[in-house]
Amino acid sequence: MGKVYYSLGRHEDAIVSYGRALAPVPGFSFVLAYKGSSLSWESTRKRSVVFDKIIETSPINL
Q: What are 16-62's pLDDT values in tens digits? A: 433 333 344 555 566 666 666 666 666 655 545 555 666 555 554 43
Residue type, 58: S
How far out from the chain centre does Cα 62 lie?
15
Residue 7, beta-bridge partner list: 15, 48
For the CA atoms of 50, 43, 53, 59, the dihedral, rounded to the nearest 10 degrees, stands at -140
Its pTM surpasses 0.85: no
Residues 11 and 56: beta-carbon distance below 8 Å = no
Calpha distance 32→42 (Å, rounded): 6
DSSP state of 20: T
